[in-house]
Structure 1
Amino acid sequence: MSEFISPDDTRYDERARALVRIGREAIAVADDEKLDAYFAADFAFHGPDGDMTYPQLRSFFAAMRAAFEGFACERRSIVSQGAFIGCRTSMSGRFTAPFEASPVGTIEPNGQSMRLELINIFRYDDDGRLAEEWVQYDNLGFFRQLGVDLTETP
């Protein structure tokens, strides 16, 4: 049994399976057409480093794909109710190129594998498009995996 949810797993509703597919087919690999169809035009992202619009989030995904060889976006568990989905997401890859979407500036690659675990809450609009997302993750742990020392020096 895989640690990740399959987009064909019928224990989950169609909205949840579509969330799995979009992670694999349009976030982990570049497919802006699929992303544009999935996200509402006025989508709002709320995360540890502040809010982003849909175009900003799409650029962030592109920066992740560029910096992390073998970039993956997988779902571990999903709870779906009405217009909301709660989810555990895992993003991973090997850090092989500069990461330019960091809030601390460009980070040079260290060649190491990284795995970013997220807790997401997604809200869908009346047309079934992703309208809003709240996400939490261990930003400090993520930066440590990238080789960034955030401690102050005397």
Structure 2
Amino acid sequence: MGEFIAPDDPSYDERARTLVRIGREAIAVPDDHRLDAYFAPDFVFHGPAGDMSYPQLRAFFASMRAAFEGFSCERRTLVSEGAFISARTSMAGRFTAPFDASPIGTLPPTGRPMRLELINVFRFHPDGTLAEEWVQYDNLDFLRQLGVDLVRR
């Protein structure tokens, strides 16, 4: 078994495999048409910095792709139960362009690698569109990886 889940892994249901494909084929690379079809119009993202709408989250994904060369969005673990899927997600890339979506404003590139580990819970509407997502990740570690000096002097 590899580090990440393959989008054709038969041990997962179709909704879980689609979640893997969306990460690889519409978040890591731009495909707004596929994202628009996947996310419900009333989608809400609940994250460490507060709630976001789908257009705000799509803009965040675009900022990540722009700032991190070789940007990837991979799933490590998936648990599917009813209308929910829980996941361990890994986003990574090399910080090669300004990042305008950091929690503290625009940051200059450092050329260093970044790997953001997330815990997600996704809720789907009966029609299969993504209705809601709760995400937890370590913003302090993320900022350290981006070269932010968090020690006050």
TM-score normalised to structure 1 length = 0.98
Aligned match of 1:48? 48
CA distance in 1, matches of 2:65, 2:17: 22
Once the two structures are superposed, residues 65-108 of structure 1 have per-residue CA deviations (whole angstroms, 9 ceiling, x without a partner) of 00000000000000000100000000000000000011201000
Give, in whole Å, the separation in 1 of the partners of 2:26 and 2:113: 21
**Aligned: 1:84 with 2:109:** no
Q: Distance in 2 between matches of 1:2 and 1:70?
A: 19
CA distance in 2 between counterparts of 1:20 and 1:151 reads: 37
The alignment status of 1:69 with 2:85, answered yes or no, reads no
Return the letter of the residue paired with 1:7: P
Give aligned-pair identity as a percent. Answer: 75
Counterpart amino acid of residue 34 in structure 1:
R
Amino acid at match of 1:133: E
- After superposition, residues 1-154 of structure 1 pair within 5 angstroms as 1-153=1-153
Distance 2:57 2:122 in 1: 14
Which ranges of 4 or more aligned residues in structure 1 deviate by more than 4 Å? none
Q: Quote the offset at 1:149 in angstroms.
A: 1.4
Task: Measure, in 2, the Cα distance between the counterparts of 1:49 and 1:89.
Answer: 18
Partner of 2:150, secondary structure, is: coil
TM-score (norm 2): 0.99
- 2: distance between equivalents of 1:44 and 1:26? 18
The AA in structure 1 aligned to 2:25 is E
Which amino acid is 1:113 matched to? P
Give, in whole Å, the separation in 1 of the partners of 2:47 and 2:151. Answer: 22
Partner of 2:23, secondary structure, is: helix
Equivalenced residues, count: 153
> Residue 100 of structure 1 aligns to which amino acid in structure 2?
D
Give the drift of 1:126: 1.4
Tell me, which stretches of 5 or more residues in structure 1 are unaligned?
A: none
Unaligned runs of 5+ in 2: none
**1:15-40 deviation per Cα after TM superposition (whole angstroms, max 9, x unaligned):** 00000000000000000000000000
